[in-house]
Structure 1
Amino acid sequence: MNNNLCCRLRRLGAGGMVVLTLLVCSRSSAGQPNSQPTFTVVPLGVKGGLAEGNLSAYLVAAVGSPAYVCLDAGTVYGGVEKAVASQALTGAAGEIIRTSIKAYLISHAHLDHIAGLLLNAPDDTPKSIYGLPGCLRTIQSDYFNWRAWPNFGPGGTPPSLGKYQLRELVPGREIPVENTPLQVQTFVLSHGRPFQSAAFLVRSGRNYLLYLGDTGADAVEQTDNLRQLWQAVAPLVKARQLKGVFMEASYANSQPEKQLFGHLTPALLLRELGVLAQLAGPEAMRGLPVVVTHIKPTAGNEKDIRQQLREANTLQLRLVFPEQGQRLEL
């Protein structure tokens, strides 16, 4: 088995079916694997565009809690079905969406990060959508407008159905995620200047999970957004409180910088995490789980990205390549 992962076997029912849960080992203060997870993560979609049934969306809950927040929502229903089939979730897909997903955190309003939310809105229950102000304005004015889709928002083109409350996030301010035990702090990312995306630092107790929406590298985007993020989380890395980083690598290293469109390659991803290592210390980075997201599913791209990341992994990160519907514990 991949040495970046631990595993847990559970035997279910009289038929004796065995279910495998991937356990992305957290680290003790000595850098050794610690089997006590803090977060349950169910990937509903892991790809970056093209694969219509497998677009960015990750359910996250505190371990032992049935209350999930959905980080982005490119694919929802199809991903829940896959998770039910693998025993990562239990129940009917529609009921899970209505009752187990308590809120959405949307990094930006591109369709591959929000299509699943829109398509399932007619059958969903009232809940909140959290995002940066520009993201929420796009959702309300460009989607919930009775032209692209019925107005399930609280304002905009009447009649507003008010199923979703749009809750603006203030960068740097931590707030509770309603109906969950989780807290979230938001950071601004650059996704092809001047377009913004967001990173979400999710807290459960004293431990954290960091999810980055689509982002370009600081040098390419000519910003310092990622450096500011790394400065904020470096103390958590040092203290072994950061359980994992979800970060994109959309294209292989052969992609020209002028055609990245606000995305990362393996080389750029590792360069950025090298900045974090400078701030937190290389030893603190060793074994840090990095869940690689948003890989474009074009021919040969994923194979190249995996190989390039593994070959250049001098930081000794725990590289994790998530699979749709397969539960992770961090």
Structure 2
Amino acid sequence: MNAQILSSFRNLIKKEPSSQGPAFADTHPDFEIIALGTRSGVIDGNLTSYMVRPLGRNEAVLCDAGTLGHGLKIAEQKGSLDDIPIMPDSSLSRAGHVLKQTVRAYLISHPHLDHIAGLVLASPDDTPKPIYGLPSTLNALSSHLFNNEIWGNQGNRGAEPAIGKYSYQDMESGVAQTIAKSDLTIRAWPLKHGPMTSTAFLIETNGKAVLYLGDTEADKPENGEQKLHELWEAIAPLVKEQRLKAIVMEATYTNDHPENALAGHMTPEHVLQSLRDLALVCGGRHYVRGLKVLITHVKETFHMTENPVTHIARELNDGNDMGIYFLMAKQGESYLV
């Protein structure tokens, strides 16, 4: 990484406790990303969930919801919700206000439990909201989750009686939709995640954007599988015009994990190779220099080895020949981008 760029970004990182400032602050931020859950594997209280909020506005979307209520409580304890306005003289905690009033919609990348468990558990106390996703994801939620067997049908389709608290909003690849009661526009593209389809969501407002990728695997051009390449082609104009403020992207396993045991996930080398492809699509590595990439979904383990977050961070930075700024997501922390 260019030493001058690295130095300038390091000066932006807040070393104090989160109650005194965000974990990361851009010089000219447009969004706040709050990590409600960041891991995968055996940590059932810290599963993938990210709140994306335009700065200065009491509206947000939740990208996946593996951990929701617990994640909001952790974020409240760390001070990451402090600048979100709440109703005066209310009996609700700040975390409760954010759940019921600030979060305007859920963007669900795929129906694996580590991406939806928090949504299920919080649903009885939630307020009516839309759930956006590709049809395959929403069909799985309505047929196999909110089906009055696994859980009461909180949706507006499927098994009767249907409570209708959540309205399913089917998305088409690359087609923009505006979230009701907000100024947020979203688009979705399919990703390959083993035998199933996952999703990338682009959240836009006032000409700026954040890109969130659900679980994904590396492209395999020899098999005709290039979902990430197709995504990069779609969002390249935003990168070239410096309107993409951050990417949230997985690196689940370390580089020494066997390829045949990745289960549709990425290693640091896969992440780096894919981002090199993004640079190529944009027309050169200078277009991605300084791009913020928030790394998520690191697999937790019971093995007494080096912390996998530390290991993956080192592998990403050791191979970083593009000047990309990698951030390792931490539960409850706020990132201003």
TM-score normalised according to structure 1 size: 0.91
CA-CA distance at 1:304 after TM superposition: 1.8
SS in structure 2 at match of 1:283: helix
- Would the aligned equivalents of 1:59 and 1:71 in 2 still touch at CA under 8 Å? yes
Q: Does 1:37 align with 2:38?
A: no
Q: Distance in 2 between matches of 1:87 and 1:303?
A: 24
Q: Determine the structure 2 residue equivalent to 1:71.
A: 63
Q: Does 1:203 align with 2:204?
A: yes
- Would the aligned equivalents of 1:9 and 1:21 in 2 still touch at CA under 8 Å? no
Aligned Cα root-mean-square deviation (Å):
2.0
Q: 1:305 to 1:207 in 2, by over 3 A?
A: same
CA-CA distance at 1:4 after TM superposition: 3.9
> What runs of 5+ residues in structure 1 fail to find an aligned partner?
11-16, 26-34
Q: Does 1:323 align with 2:337?
A: no
Q: Distance in 2 between matches of 1:283 and 1:233?
A: 16
Q: Does 1:88 align with 2:75?
A: no
Q: Distance in 2 between matches of 1:181 and 1:283?
A: 31
| Counterpart code for 1:149 | W
Q: Determine the structure 2 residue equivalent to 1:304.
A: 311
Which range moved further: 269-278 or 93-102? 93-102
CA-CA distance at 1:8 after TM superposition: 6.6
| Counterpart code for 1:282 | R
SS in structure 2 at match of 1:145: coil
Q: 1:38 to 1:79 in 2, by over 3 A?
A: same
SS in structure 2 at match of 1:189: strand
Kindly, what percent of the aligned residue pairs are identical?
37
Q: Determine the structure 1 residue equivalent to 2:89.
A: none
Q: 1:200 to 1:304 in 2, by over 3 A?
A: same
> What runs of 5+ residues in structure 2 fail to find an aligned partner?
1-5, 83-92
CA-CA distance at 1:22 after TM superposition: 2.9
- Would the aligned equivalents of 1:43 and 1:324 in 2 still touch at CA under 8 Å? yes
Q: Distance in 1 between matches of 2:235 and 2:333?
A: 27
Q: Distance in 1 between matches of 2:43 and 2:9?
A: 26
Q: Distance in 1 between matches of 2:15 and 2:32?
A: 15
Q: Distance in 2 between matches of 1:9 and 1:323?
A: 13
Per-residue CA deviation, residues 86-116 of structure 1 (Å, 9 max, x unaligned), is 1111443233211111110000010000000
Q: Determine the structure 2 residue equivalent to 1:295.
A: 298
SS in structure 1 at match of 2:216: coil
Task: Report how many residues are paired.
Answer: 315
Matches within 5 A, 1:267-286: 267-280=269-282, 281-286=284-289
Per-residue CA deviation, residues 53-83 of structure 1 (Å, 9 max, x unaligned), is 1000001111101111100000001110011
CA-CA distance at 1:255 after TM superposition: 1.0
SS in structure 1 at match of 2:22: strand
Per-residue CA deviation, residues 214-244 of structure 1 (Å, 9 max, x unaligned), is 0001118751111111111112111111101
- Would the aligned equivalents of 1:62 and 1:181 in 2 still touch at CA under 8 Å? no
SS in structure 2 at match of 1:150: coil
Q: Determine the structure 2 residue equivalent to 1:30.
A: none
Q: Determine the structure 2 residue equivalent to 1:29.
A: none
- Would the aligned equivalents of 2:246 and 2:291 in 1 still touch at CA under 8 Å? yes
Q: Determine the structure 2 residue equivalent to 1:219.
A: 220
